[in-house]
Structure formats: C-alpha cells, structure tokens
C-alpha cells in the first residue's frame, strides 16, 4: 500500500499510523524552571540524541492545548537557557504519564505525580528523583517546522548536554546495563514498550 500523507483514513486506518511506524521512540522527561522559578516537568517522545561529540539532544513540541503558543517546556528552556532530561525507567512509567497533564503555566507537575526533584549541578532545573540517568542541558536553539493545524506551531528545541548523572546501580563492569532500569519507549497510539532484552551485533568492518 502507498498513501499520500493526510489520506490515511481513505486507506482503512482509524488513526494516523505515522507514530507507530517511527517507533520505538525514547522519552525525554524534560524539566525546566519558569522565569519565576517554578518547576515544570513533561514527557516528550519526539526526543532523541543527534550527536555525541559533544552530546546534543532535542525535544519537539506542538502548541499548548486550548490556548496555543509554545508548551511550557519550550518556553522555559528558551527563556532560562537550560533544561534537564531525565530518562524514564519502567518503574516510573505511570508517574511519567501523569506529568503529561495540561496544567496552566506556572503549575508544577511533580507533586501531582508524587515525584520530587533533586538539585542539578551545572543548571538550575531539578532532576526527577529516582530516574536512572539525568542529562543537564544548555539550551542551543529552536527550529520551527511546518504545521498544518490552524493556530498551532511545531518546534524542535535543541540542547547541549553539559553534565550527566548516572545511578551507579545500573553500571556493570564499566558498562551501562539498560536491563537494570528498563527504559520506556513510546510506540504508536497509546502503546509503550520496555527494553528488557538486548543482543549485540559486531560491525562489518
Ligand atoms: C509519553 C508521552 C510522550 C509525549 N510526547 C510529546 C511530544 O513529543 N511532543 C509534544 O508536544 N507533546 C508530547 N506529549 C504531551 C506533553 O507531555 C503534554 O502536552 C504536556 O502537558 C506538555 O507540558 P508542558 O507544557 O509543561 O511542556 C507527550 C505525552 C506523553 C504521555
């Protein structure tokens, strides 16, 4: 089957399958501070690493539900120049989901999800306590991408990772063992996967 983007309903799909095709996607659990110093936390599965020398990550956001304009994570990262990305482990999957609540700007998602924050070292936003890895990021730039929905915008927000916290319990013989924390990935629809099994493949040359 081939279909032109936007015509999936004519081809028997009940829901746009795009996100199911580009999966699994890691989830960046983005914490920021507003200019008034209020903590904000939200999951983004349009999230990934784009380089490692230096490490650079991005998260991509649409507009804030109901009122338009950038989502709080983007707005705070742009205004304060900092964000932290905590990595979501299986044990915190339900709390991660709760932090996607659409709260008014200036309301902290952490207490709603019974989470607490820990201070970072090089940046001001808090890290999610209990997460196995935290990436402290310096905001680099935002790039606007096309948007077909009225009064909505899409943006990609890049940050350079300048400090990393690792829970030492996930390190085995000098390597990170992801099966010890089981990162959560987003699939299509409301589906998720947890990495609990890995295999290795040598490069051909
Ligand atoms: C697993 C998961 C992944 C999500 N990924 C994204 C995403 O990549 N981009 C986005 O705009 N919203 C995404 N959302 C929705 C946001 O988390 C939600 O809109 C949140 O309220 C944004 O918060 P903020 O305004 O504090 O940044 C996701 C939600 C969940 C549960």
Domains of the chain (ranges plus CATH)? 25-194 (2.30.110.10)
The alpha carbon of residue 3 and the mean position of all alpha carbons in its chain are separated, in whole angstroms, by 29
pTM: 0.97
- Give the SS3 label for residue 141: strand
Atom 18 of ligand 1, nearest CA residue: 100
Encode burial over 41-79: b for 16+ CB neighbours within 10 A, e otherwise: bbbbbbbeeeeeeeebbbbbbbbbeeeeebbbbbbbbbe
pLDDT digits (tens, 9 = 90+) for 82-140: 999 999 999 999 999 999 999 888 889 999 999 999 999 999 999 999 999 999 999 99
CA 84 – CA 30 distance, rounded (Å):
6
Q: Are 44 and 87 in contact (CB under 8 A)?
A: no
Q: Are 186 and 16 in contact (CB under 8 A)?
A: no
pLDDT digits (tens, 9 = 90+) for 24-37: 999 999 999 999 99
Atom 20 of ligand 1, nearest CA residue: 100
pLDDT at 159: 98
What is the distance in A from the centroid of ligand 1 to the CA of 60?
Answer: 9
């Amino acid at each position: 089957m081939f279909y032109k983007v936007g015509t999936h309903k004519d081809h028997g799909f009940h829901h746009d399958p795009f996100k199911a095709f580009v999966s699994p996607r890691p989830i960046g659990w983005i914490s920021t501070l507003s200019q008034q110093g209020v903590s904000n936390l939200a999951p983004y599965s349009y999230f990934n690493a784009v380089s490692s020398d230096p490490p650079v990550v991005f998260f991509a956001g649409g507009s804030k539900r109901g009122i338009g304009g950038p989502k709080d994570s983007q707005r705070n990262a742009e205004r304060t120049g900092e964000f932290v990305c905590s990595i979501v482990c299986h044990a915190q999957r339900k709390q991660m989901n709760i932090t996607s609540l659409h709260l008014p700007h200036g309301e902290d998602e952490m207490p709603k999800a019974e989470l607490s924050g820990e201070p970072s070292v090089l940046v001001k936003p808090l890290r999610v306590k209990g997460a196995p890895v935290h990436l402290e990021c310096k905001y680099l730039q935002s790039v606007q991408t096309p948007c077909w929905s009225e009064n909505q915008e899409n943006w990609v927000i890049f940050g350079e990772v300048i400090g990393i916290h690792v829970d030492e319990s996930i390190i085995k013989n000098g390597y990170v063992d992801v099966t010890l924390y089981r990162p959560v990935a987003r699939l299509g629809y409301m589906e998720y996967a947890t990495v609990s099994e890995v295999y290795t493949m040598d490069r051909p040359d």
